[in-house]
Amino acid sequence: DTEVTQTPKHLVMGMTNKKSLKCEQHMGHRAMYWYKQKAKKPPELMFVYSYEKLSINESVPSRFSPECPNSSLLNLHLHALQPEDSALYLCASSQPGLNEKLFFGSGTQLSVL
């Protein structure tokens, strides 16, 4: 199984809502990532978890809260988002290391109204 599964595929939320994005992989990878991609722009790194511990936070606003409950799951909790947060949110996984390929999920397309 070389898949990274993200749910939901699409999400529409209001600025006062609380929602969560989920990501799951069963490749035994111990590094998991959240990226944000605006339309026609490259992905930008948000968070990295390594061995279930947060290792990188790219100065992301606190309205985005990541969680890694176990080695297979990664969540992104959303609260009080702004319309400019509308984007494709991509999850990825890899083995920790210097030269490991990243495997990406198909993403959650988020719209904030």
Q: State in angstroms the smallest separation of the CB of 2 from other proteins.
A: 10
Q: Which is nearer to other proteins, 16 or 101 (CB)?
A: 101
CA dihedral of residues 45, 46, 49, 55 (deg, nearest 10): 90
- Site residues (vs other proteins, CB under 8 A): 4, 6, 31, 41-45, 48, 50, 55-56, 88, 90, 92, 96, 98-99, 101-107, 109
Q: Which is nearer to other proteins, 66 or 107 (CB)?
A: 107
| 23: Cβ contacts below 8 Å, ≥ 6 apart | 4, 5, 6, 32, 34, 73, 74, 75, 76, 91, 93, 105
Q: Which is nearer to other proteins, 70 or 98 (CB)?
A: 98
